[in-house]
Structure 1
Amino acid sequence: MAAGPFIKTAGMVALDVETGQLAAGGVGAQARCILSNLWSVMADLGLEVGHMVSATVYVSDFDSFGDLNQVWDEFFSSDDVPPPARTSVGVSALPLGAAVEMEFLFYASQLVLPSERERSGRA
C-alpha cells in the first residue's frame, strides 16, 4: 500500500513462495523466510534497506526471541545502513499458526511504483 512517499506492507507470515504453505520451523526459520520474501519484493519494487523506516514483529513465543534476533542480525548487519526501528509484540496466536509475523514501513520519496508508472504513462 503506497501513500505518498510511504509504502506499508501488510503483515507477512512465512509462506513458501513455491507452495503457498506456511514454512516449517520455529521463529528463526520463519523469520528468515519472511525476510527472504521481503528482500525479493523490495528488489521487484526498487526498494533498498535504506528505505525501510520501521518494522513491527509479532511473536507467539517470546522464549524464542533470541532466534529472531540472530536472523534479524543476518539481514541487517551493514555498517552503512542502520536497521529500521523495530517494535516487537508478544501475541497468543498468529494467522495459519505462524510463529512470527512482520510488517514494514518504507519511505521512498523518489520511487515510482509499477502501478504508478502505468497510470502516468512513464516507462
Structure 2
Amino acid sequence: MTLTAKPLRPADADELDDVLASHDPLLVEFYTAGCAMCQAMEPVLGTVQRAADVTVAMVNPGDDIGLVDAWNVRSVPTLVLVEDGEEVARMADGFQGAESVVAFLNEHAATGLTV
C-alpha cells in the first residue's frame, strides 16, 4: 500500500469503491460543505495519516446522496474505519483531535497499523 501525502477526496460512491479496493486499511471521513467541525477535522486527519499507517479519504455524501444510506451517515463528521472492505468501527462524536483519532485506530484496527 502506498500512502498519499494528503487525504484522498473521492467524489462519489464509484470513486470511493475504487479507493476501498486499493487502500487497506482506510479511514473514511464523511463531511458536508459548510460544516465547521468537518473543516476543522481536515488538518487533524492529515496529521493522523502521517502518524499512522492508514490512508484517509474524505467524502461529501451530499455530492452522492446514495452514500448517506449506503454508509448509514446520520451526522457529520463521521469517521469509519474500513479493513478488508468491511466497516470495523465508527466514530460520530463531532470534532475529534488527532490523539482521539489515533486512540480510535489503536483500539479498533487490526495489527499492522503503526501508530
Judge same fold: TM > 0.5, yes or no. Answer: no
**Higher Cα radius of gyration:** 1
More relative contact order, 1 or 2 (CA 8 Å, 6+ apart): 1
* TM-score between both structures, scaled by the size of structure 1: 0.30
